[in-house]
Amino acid sequence: YFRGKPKLGGILYRMIPSDSARELAFTSNEIDVMQGKREQRWVERSAKRGMKVDIFEPAEFRTLHLNRNVKPLDNLKVRQAVAAAINVDEIVRYAGKDVADKGCSVVPNGYLGQDCSAGAYAYDVERAKKLLAEAGYPNGVEIKSVVSNISAQQPIMEIVQAQLAKAGIKLNMEVVDHATYQAKSRQDQSGLVFYGAARFPNADTY
């Protein structure tokens, strides 16, 4: 070992899906390290309780995928309307300044290959409504989304649902456990798929 003898005899991983159960195990010293919630409120609350919170980069990249195999998302103008109806700045503010940063490229922030020259999607509810009308949906559309119930996904999708509603886009969310969400997404059962992944250290997969 180039840094000398290891200080640990080994590492035991425990998979604890529940946020509350995981935090209880940590605060009762059953575990020494845990994954925290990706929320500013949790970071600040935990720091006040004496926890050492480490926020590191490159971060997980969160994207909203539109399924062109299902109606009405097979229509370009409907997809453009969805993009115009989503306020990314509001989502970033909800997550918090320490745990969220706005992306600008299909390649995540901090990765080799990031290119912001194309510009970001502009939030414009009135334009979204106009695009829907041009697409033949003056009274709006309905879209189904299978949503994971984990804390890193469901609250964000609830914000997206409220934002889309302002433009006349009704998002019907089927909230399921994470494994079911993964399976149904891959079976084309979801019009909108909110996905997050970290692929270190380069952007090949993106």
CATH of the domain at 107: 3.10.105.10
Check pLDDT > 90 for residue 55.
no
Distance CA 90, CA 164 (A): 13
Residue 59 has pLDDT above 80, yes or no: no
Tell me if 51 is assigned to some domain: no
Higher confidence at residue 57 or residue 27? 27
* Confidence class for position 201, pLDDT limits 50, 70, 90: low
pTM of the entire predicted model: 0.81
* 72/134 Cα distance (integer angstroms): 13
41 inside domain: no
Q: What is the 3-state secondary structure (H, E, C) of 75-128?
A: CHHHHHHHHHHCCHHHHHHHHCCCCCCCCCCCCCCCCCCCCCCCCCCCCCHHHH
Is 11 a domain residue? no
Report if residue 8 sits inside a domain: no
Least confident of 78-82, 91-95, 113-117, 123-127: 113-117
In this structure, is residue 193 part of a structural domain? yes
The Cα–Cα gap between 60 and 77 comes to 29
pLDDT of residue 110: 77
Task: Tell me the average pLDDT across 190-202.
Answer: 83
The mean pLDDT of 68-77, rounded to a whole number, is 94
Is 180 part of any domain? yes
Residue 63 has pLDDT above 80, yes or no: yes
How far apart CA 196 and CA 175 sit, in angstroms, is: 17
In total, how many domains does the chain have?
1
Is 33 part of a structural domain of the chain? Answer: no
What is the pLDDT at residue 176?
95
Provide the residue range defining the domain that includes 172: 61-197
Q: Is 174 a domain residue?
A: yes
Position 154 scores a pLDDT of: 92
Structure tokens at 194: 């909110």
Average pLDDT over residues 172-192: 92
More confident residue, 55 or 179: 179
pLDDT averaged over every residue in the chain: 89
